[in-house]
Amino acid sequence: MTSQASTATHNRLLELQDFSLVLGGPLFQLFRKAHLTDDALELVRQRMIVISLFVWLPLLALSALEGQLLDGRVAVPILLDVEVHIKFLLALPLLNVAELVVHQRMRFVVRQFLERNLIPESALPRFDAAIASTSRLRNSVVAEVLLIAFVYIVGVLIIWRHYTALATATWYGVPTVEGLKLSITGTCYAYISVPVFQFLLLRWYFCMFSPSIMKCSTSISPTRWLGGRRQITASRPWPMTYR
């Protein structure tokens, strides 16, 4: 029995070598084809630069063409809109770094669940099912399509237009009786830049807090978790490399 259990654990550890919350799905495949990532989710600097410039630089160029960089035509020109620069030049790159950190650390943590016998034998089938469910969800085309639809319908048309957009003349639009009238730059901002940021943020939350991940944690008995948590934390420094 002990030999069979050891063999089963070894097989599970081999399967977990490819486990990841983010290495999969249409977006990951798109990044690979664009040479913005590899099988280890490296090239993070390239992703940070390319994605941030993709959503920010066109806004700067269009604002310059429309004369809304820094002059007094509108109350809030783009160069004075601190929120936009923080969102696209700071938050978005940090999101890319966080994705790599979670990818590298989560694989190590999940392996420790098995190597340190934190999961009771009776809960192993549930743990295996949760891992398989997580992988299917990560690779799901339907899930990412639904996220995109949610971003445009709820994130842009409802939340951004009615609750986030400033109620004053800005570089992206002017409030009117009929609603916010977008400039050319504002159209690019509302239907390209904002959706890209919201989609990446929602996808990150979706991967981190999906029901399948919660099932993994519930497979561990509370007493083993308390002891194992100390062992994992003290075992060795977190593996973290990026380029």
Residue 241, domain member (yes or no): no
- What residue numbers bound the domain in which 168 lies? 2-235
Residue 243, domain member (yes or no): no
Residue 141, domain member (yes or no): yes
> CA-to-CA distance for 196 and 182, rounded, in angstroms?
18
Question: How far does Cα 61 stand from its chain's mean position?
Answer: 27
Per-residue model confidence as pLDDT tens digits over 34-84: 988 887 777 888 999 999 999 999 999 999 999 888 876 788 999 999 999
Q: Which 3 state secondary structure label does DSSP give 170?
A: strand
Residue-wise DSSP of 43-83: -HHHHHHHHHHHHHHHHHHHHHHTT-SSSTTSSB-GGG-HH
Residue 118, domain member (yes or no): yes
Q: Does the pTM of the predicted model rise above 0.95?
A: no
Two structure tokens written together for 217: 């944690």
Q: Which 3 state secondary structure label does DSSP give 203?
A: helix
With a CB cutoff of 8 Å and minimum separation 6, the contacts of 85 are 56
| Cβ contact 108:239 at 8 Å | yes
Residue 127, domain member (yes or no): yes
Residue 189, domain member (yes or no): yes
Per-residue model confidence as pLDDT tens digits over 26-46: 888 888 899 888 877 778 889
- DSSP character at residue 193: I
